Amino acid sequence: MALLAYDFMLTSGDEVRLIWGSKWNSIKVLFFATRYPVFIDGPLYLAMHFIPNLDPSLCNTFFATTSWILHIGVSTAGIIMLIKTYALYGCNRSIGIVFVTIFMGVNIPAIIFVNRSLKSLKFLTPSPLPTLAPCIVISSDRVTFLNFVFLIILQLAVVILSIWKGVYQWRENRGRLINTLVKDGVVYFLCLFAISTANAIVLVAAPSSDAVPACIACHTLRTSYSPHSRRY
């Protein structure tokens, strides 16, 4: 949460200047859908782990809510990245079809796996440490690690196509916007790849763990990307 607050203070100026005053469109809606749900997600995560004597029946509700908010945030961020890359290709119809296919092929299984994982969750009731750890997961489906594998595949496709088009256009037009989109896309992918790989390893090695703290770091990367590119 400290990282989230710090990121918000750093980027809120650009957000107000570049996004709040712009006309409403699909990108603006997607940005807000990525930007602000984490302010619900984060407090729920803290409540689930740190509110003493939390009603055990709320553990599953809080966990499900944070999981779906996380999935929506990752999905909308993926759409934004696809749209940016789609624009690099001059809104080429064939590229658009490829992106829709990739997104559906990644997102539909991810929804199935999130739902499957939530149904398999079991909490220790009552918690032996109700004032320190009210919600203790004792078992969950390991399949959730595949969500991060799918995320890596999606971002890898985006970064490869961005670099391919960026290098081609850079030879003809060395504009700051092209340089920014390609450079930020590569940096974003490398950071997200490291975080997603770590999450996948943790979920395989310790399936009772969750990935919310690391995905707050993902959130700061996702929401910082859009205002930065709009400066140009």
User: pLDDT for 57-75, tens place per residue?
Assistant: 788 888 888 888 878 877 8
**Tens digits of residue pLDDT in 210-223:** 555 555 555 555 55
pLDDT in tens, 30-58: 888 878 877 887 788 778 777 877 877 78
Three-class SS string for 127-148? CCCCCCCCCCEEECCHHHHHHH
Residue 104 belongs to what domain range? 2-230
Residues of the chain with pLDDT under 50: 207, 228-229, 231-232
**pLDDT for 219:** 55
Q: The domain that contains 140 carries what CATH number?
A: 1.20.1070
Q: Quote the number of domains for the chain.
A: 1
